[in-house]
Amino acid sequence: MSPIATVKRELLIRHLQAWAAGALHHARRATYVHGYADGDGGEAAEAAVRVLADLPGLARGRELSMVAIGGDVGEVGRRIGVAQREAGAAAGLTVLPVGGGTDERLPVALRAAGAVRVPLMGFLDATSAGEPPAVTTVAAIAAGKPAEVLLVLPPGSPVDPYRGLGFPLLTAAELATGPEPGEVVAFATTSGKSLESFKEALWAVDEFAGVRLRDPGDPERHLIDISLSPHPGPLRRELLAHLEKVGEATVTELRTFALTETVYRAADATRVLHTLIDSGAVAREPAHGRLGGDVMIRL
């Protein structure tokens, strides 16, 4: 497995664990859909099954459906079956392999699985297909309440086509090992809390063989080491550029900007704002006191 594939799988596992535990805490039923399941021979789908089979919520009468879609799901189905047996999956977990193209089958498969108006998470790693998933495929996942989707797109793919579509929040990052464009990880959701959770998972994954993050909004295209305390340079530049564009903004607005328009977390924006204020690069109103959400920041 390549270093980037390892990072992608760890990111999926970390976020899927958090999502599934929360979904089954608030709802009796939830659905997870795994597209392009045969793209890596079923390795990521197998890892997902092992995560879901170990959920304590399944022992409390909750129901979780996993839909795995791939052009050739024979090997995927075998690996999923082995994972279920070895993990001792609870009765509340149902796994449905679906053969066919993800763009063709996903909307129909979700309706068949009863995934409308229940918590729904999708994972679509389209890098094996060589082209991004159709907009209608991603939009179909918005039928969940709440809904979110983790996309992995081929290098250089734009994320703008996926803005909206029932997901008010979207963020993206590149997984790269050098100056050439890297695979694009995009996350779209209806929940600000889930977006925060995804960002925490993104910066918590282990760094493998030089895999680093690149902020798509950074014009200087710097690579950033994956760390719980990431280098603040690109975020500093982007916050200053944003303030130059809008004139002024509240701390809450700048935290939201960092969360949705950069690779960083909202908490990273707060830390950078403190350094910008201390250095005199920006001014605040009021000039003293706690740096609360309603404090106005300007150049």
Quickly state the pLDDT bin for 116 (edges 50, 70, 90).
confident
Give long-range contacts, CB 8 A cutoff, 24+ apart: 83-86: 83/46, 83/49, 83/50, 83/53, 84/49, 84/53, 86/50
Each residue's pLDDT tens digit, 132-176: 999 999 999 999 999 999 999 999 999 999 998 999 999 999 999
Q: Encode pLDDT of 224-263 as tens digits.
A: 999 989 999 999 999 999 999 999 999 999 999 999 999 9
pTM of the predicted structure, to 2 decimals: 0.92
Does position 206 have pLDDT exceeding 80, yes or no?
A: no
Instruction: Report pLDDT digits (tens) over 102-114.
Output: 999 999 999 998 8
Query: What's the farthest any 2 CA atoms get from each other in the chain?
Result: 64
d(CA 132, CA 126): 6
**168, 141 contact by CB (below 8 A):** no
Domains 3-224 and 233-298 share a fold: no
Taking alpha carbons only, the member of 273, 123, 256 closest to residue 192 is 256
Residue 54 makes CB contacts below 8 A (sequence gap 6+) with 87
Mean pLDDT of the region 186-196? 94
Architecture of the domain delimited by 233-298: Orthogonal Bundle (1.10)
**Strand 223-224 relative to strand 283-285, pairing:** unpaired
Q: Quick count: other Cβ atoms within 10 Å of Cβ 229? A: 9
Average pLDDT over residues 56-71: 83
Average pLDDT, the chain: 91
C-alpha to C-alpha distance for 259 and 106, rounded to whole angstroms: 29
> Which residues are 212's β-sheet partners?
176
Confidence at 90, pLDDT banded by 50, 70, 90: low
- Rounded to whole angstroms, the Cα distance separating 208 from 31 reads 30
Domain map of the chain by residue range? 3-224, 233-298
CA quadruple 27, 28, 32, 33: dihedral positive or negative? negative
What pLDDT shows up at residue 54?
A: 82
pLDDT score for 242: 96
Contact 65, 32 (CB under 8 A): yes
User: What fold is seen in the domain 3-224?
Assistant: Rossmann fold (3.40.50)
